[in-house]
Structure 1
Amino acid sequence: MRLVEIKEGKARIFIPDPKEYEKNGKFDPSWAPVFYNPRMMFNRDISVIAVSIISPKSIIDALAASGIRGIRYYLESNSPIEEIIFNDKSKVAVDLISKNVEANGVKVAKITNRDANSLLYEVITDYVDIDPFGSPSPFILSSVNAVKNGGYIAYTATDLAPLEGSAKKSCKRKYDVNNSKLSFSKEVGLRVLLSKIVREAAILEKAVEPIFAFYNDYYYRVIIRVTRGAKRADESIEKLGYFYECEKCGFSGSSKDPIEKCPRCGNKVKISGPVWLGKINDDSFVHKMIDYLQNFSYIKNFEAVSILLHKILQENKYPPGYYNLEFIASKYKINVPAREKIIECLGDASQTHFSSKGIKTSKSFDEILECMKTLSNKV
């Protein structure tokens, strides 16, 4: 296996040479014997900032692959880390992790060659990172088991088809959610994932509090805080509910229980649920991330991270779900006005990071529609 050295953040690591695994001039990271995906750099950049705030003493990178994530936590987070467990079930990956850990002077590394679930049922830690290829569902229960009371877990999910409702049967299998493809599916997917995490944690009488969550490129990333207690777990369960969207008039909303008919026009609605209807971001944590960001001016995604954090802070005050302006316009056969004009017209609304065609607002559907119709006539 020929290796090449790459730089990411403050880390320099060795990865399999992509040129050796190209097919017809193309390369996918999954084709290499050890996985390293440069498109996930944004995910890792933002995770390093989050870990800086969490400041854990112990970390488990359960699906470590090249080791880049754990190495960056050690080098860049300024946390009082006493141990990082780098785990991968691939012997080839473990050998590469050893090389990369040594090259970066990670003195607190413990490297294991285990099945992730098996390992997570044997250890207790402050922070667990689950960054799989596809769905994190197989690792949710074990990771909740492995984290201390008041500890944190970070999950990445790249299986957008089931989460967003395009693959309904797959969503039912992996997340036990009856999902539909709604016009605001990007947010639905994140809340489907959180619903699964909440329900799995409740089995162990643990409660889940999302502190940071976002969508980017082709994946979701969520960081949760886990606390013990049956009563707290019950309170988390109480924040589950359903999204609905009318197939005729385009009206959408959320409810505690599933509904069959549109509250606005009486027509049939599409349903997704159970989904998480609580907050997906903690304001104080996001504020801290914005403050801490200044310490990471060297990261390649500095500007993009800043834009994301400020958007999340803006949209976090609004109810679950966003309004897809293109979808509404198509229902009423009107032009799509500029998003900023609609936000200005409503007076109490914001952009959403989930979609460039979406807005968040506490205003009613009919107020949004009225603004759109008025502005459409001026286009």
Structure 2
Amino acid sequence: MATVEDVLESVNRSQASKYKTIEVQKDIEPQLDLGNLLTVDQNPLELKKFRADKEAYLKSQARDNTQLLFNAIWKLPTERVEEAICVKLPETTTVLPREKPIPKVKPPTRWEQYAQLKGIQKRKKGRMVWDEELKEWRPRWGYKRANDETKDWVIEVPGNADPNEDQFEKRMKAKKERVAKNELQRLRNIARATRSKVPGVGLTPTEKPSKEEVGLALHLAKKSTASLGKFTEKLPKEKEAKHVGKKRKFEPAIGDFKKEKEQQLNIIDVMENKKPKLDITKAVNRVISQQEQEPSDERRKRGVKVKNRRGPPRKKGSGGFGKKGKAGKGKGAKGMGGKGKGKMGKGKGKGR
């Protein structure tokens, strides 16, 4: 009779024939980068096995290297997170190129700065909320949300409100204003972070708006009527807003064919009879400049220096003060007709 040990041994042998062992031996130890989950195998290929069956050989190599990677991962400290065993990977050792730079940390918004200053902690709200009217759990926001005010078919009119006022319209208007306010706050946060102006139409809420901003906002408010400001009355001494585009006027698509034909014929006549304009003054000046330049060019070709009319500026030493330009030896100011001692110079010099 077979014992329990013999049965277990036979079972282990059958399982071992099905599954490979986790122990892998390599001549050269592969380089493991656990941070990137990367294995670099530097062992040379066995050419006989590779040429015999490429696909099977590459699969076996990939399996062995993956097994080595998992063996190293299971040696790291583990922790359980929501019924799952997790491993904290170490820092990477292989530098991988990136297509784009690492995204910068977003600067905190105004509310985040205030909350950090006051120590206010953000509380995470649950997604599902109990609806008292329908007696069931529904999402807090979005489609089929709980306590949806837009589904009310009747609204109670407050005691201090106008009885003729449409409460549904008032509620929708308040919601649009809240959405617009949130969008403006978002744009302000972006503008504050990038140090740019807040994009907007009309007059954005600022502490001290300029005169041009107020004028532009007034112009846009007048144009926002049903008639596009056609019947809007002007205030006394009101000026037109600056930097406001004018509406272009176009001819009707279907109009007077005779007039259109005349316009097209006029355009063709202008194109055919178009002659180049002749600027007589410019042409005469060009001819004169060419005639003056011709003799000077001929002299340059012969090697004769052309004397400038105005001449170069005189040096300080030219004239009666000597070559060095100082009150030393040189031409005397007294010797205008012949030899003589100059007042300013010690030596004799010829006069002009």
Q: Would the TM-score normalized by the shorter structure come out above 0.5?
A: no
TM-score (norm 1): 0.16
Structure with max Cα Rg: 2
- TM-score w.r.t. the length of structure 2 is 0.17
Looking at secondary structure, tell me which structure has more strand per residue.
1
- Which structure is higher in RCO with an 8 Å CA cutoff and minimum separation 6? 1
